[in-house]
Structure 1
Amino acid sequence: MRDIIDGFLKFQREAFPQRTELFKQLATSQHPRTLFISCSDSRLVPELVTQREPGDLFVIRNAGNIVPSYGPEPGGVSATVEYAIAALEVTDVVICGHSDCGAMTAIATCKCLDHMPAVRNWLRYADSAKVVNEAREHQNERARVDSMVRENVIAQLANIKTHPSVRLALEQGRLALHGWVYDIETGSIDAFDGAHNRYVSLAEHPDTCAVPARLGLAA
């Protein structure tokens, strides 16, 4: 814990003074343009990967970058999605998975999670991705996990479309959805191309979208 406190003291002493004007602006309001949904994994830091400043991203992090389908008892993720879309009026949503994801590894390898019932129940929101992944042939266990990570991003993109606020924003053409997979070792990102149902390099295809804003529900 001491290293975290030392980090804060360094922030207060060095980093904060360099951004005094920024924090003065952020003290009373926020206007992020992007909702970024990623895994809680300590190796994926959205602001670092995207090189964004405080106030740029509205972030949800949880095990497996999961977005439950909208239901009668919306939880914290649903409430945060709704606030981002309806109140903050973000224009883009990114759902970002990553390599070597513990949650997706547990699903892909059928690891017993009886000792973690809350985790087991939470990961059921990835069941549609699991079914698709199990129906495919994989060269080895790593390929199976990598595929599960990608299928899960696609599944969560489908889940988030069930949220009323998201559906309305898509219908009105004011929201775009993005599905990314970040590779920890190389620092690269593959993006889901919804028009061609495939993943492509984001560096080579920076305009790639899962659901472009102009297409709305037609996508």
Structure 2
Amino acid sequence: MQSLIDHARTFHQKVSGGREQVIPPCDSASPQAMFITCSDAQVIPSLITGARPGELVELRTAGNVIPPYRLGRLTAEAATIEYAVNILGVQDVIVCGHTSCGAVQGRVRSWTLRSAPTTRWWLLQTHRWREAPATGDEEAGQAHLVAQLDKLRRYPRVARGLAAGRLRLHGWFYEVETGVVSNYRPETGTFTPL
């Protein structure tokens, strides 16, 4: 923790005194994309994409879970998605799952989250598997990612943006161990390297 504190204490000097030491913010006031991913500390959107400050709107939840849209039900996830699409005008939304995801493992093997009842309840309330996921870690994570994309398509503003051609959805799957990122291809139901 001390190294994090030390860095935060001197960060302002790096930003104000020597811009070459910090990635400069982008010139545009509009982010390029929204990146929805897991809160796992091993998944770092700006490192994966090379985005500079201001280029991504990030939404991080346990297991990159997107709750089902329900009129009148307020969630931070729905508010963040709506703001990114309606106000900031993002044209691309990336939902990124990953290998060795504790939330996915907790959903597949309920005993994994015995000591995290709130997380377990959250996963049970926000996600129903349409079919039993494959037994492997990667297959379960990919099935989970596809389910999140399906839920996101049901958000009214997302659906309108997709229908009008103003918005594109991307399903990425990040292999933590290797750094390889695959893209979901809905027309074939497969994942292929970016």
TM-score, length basis structure 2 = 0.89
Match of 2:66 in 1: 67
Change in CA separation of 1:73 and 1:170 when aligned onto 2, cut-off 3 Å: same
After TM superposition, the structure 1 = structure 2 runs for residues 110-149 of structure 1, keeping only pairs within 5 Å, are 110-111=110-111, 113-124=113-124, 125-128=126-129, 131-133=131-133, 136=134, 138=135, 143=136, 145-149=137-141
Contact 1:132 1:151 (8 Å CA) reproduced: no
Change in CA separation of 1:200 and 1:83 when aligned onto 2, cut-off 3 Å: same
Change in CA separation of 1:170 and 1:132 when aligned onto 2, cut-off 3 Å: same
Match of 2:146 in 1: 154
Q: Shift in Å at residue 158 of structure 1?
A: 0.4
SS at match of 1:121: helix
- The letter of the residue matching 2:90 is V
Match of 2:155 in 1: 163
Change in CA separation of 1:199 and 1:8 when aligned onto 2, cut-off 3 Å: same
Contact 1:38 1:62 (8 Å CA) reproduced: yes
Change in CA separation of 1:24 and 1:184 when aligned onto 2, cut-off 3 Å: closer
Once the two structures are superposed, what CA deviation does each residue of 1:95-153 show, in whole Å capped at 9, x if it has no partner? 00111111111122232535433211211223225x331xx5x4xxxx2x221110011
Contact 1:85 1:165 (8 Å CA) reproduced: yes
Contact 2:174 2:180 (8 Å CA) reproduced: yes
Once the two structures are superposed, what CA deviation does each residue of 1:42-67 show, in whole Å capped at 9, x if it has no partner? 01110111111100000000100011
| Residue 86 (str. 1) matches residue 111 (str. 2) | no
Q: Shift in Å at residue 194 of structure 1?
A: 1.1
Alignment RMSD, CA only?
2.2
Unaligned runs of at least 5 residues, structure 1: 203-219
Once the two structures are superposed, what CA deviation does each residue of 1:160-216 show, in whole Å capped at 9, x if it has no partner? 1111110111111110000011011111011100111111111xxxxxxxxxxxxxx
| Worse-matched range after superposition: 85-94 or 8-17 | 8-17
Unaligned runs of at least 5 residues, structure 2: none
SS at match of 2:73: coil
Q: Shift in Å at residue 6 of structure 1?
A: 1.1
Match of 2:184 in 1: 192
SS at match of 1:36: strand
Number of residues of Structure 1 aligned to a counterpart in Structure 2: 190
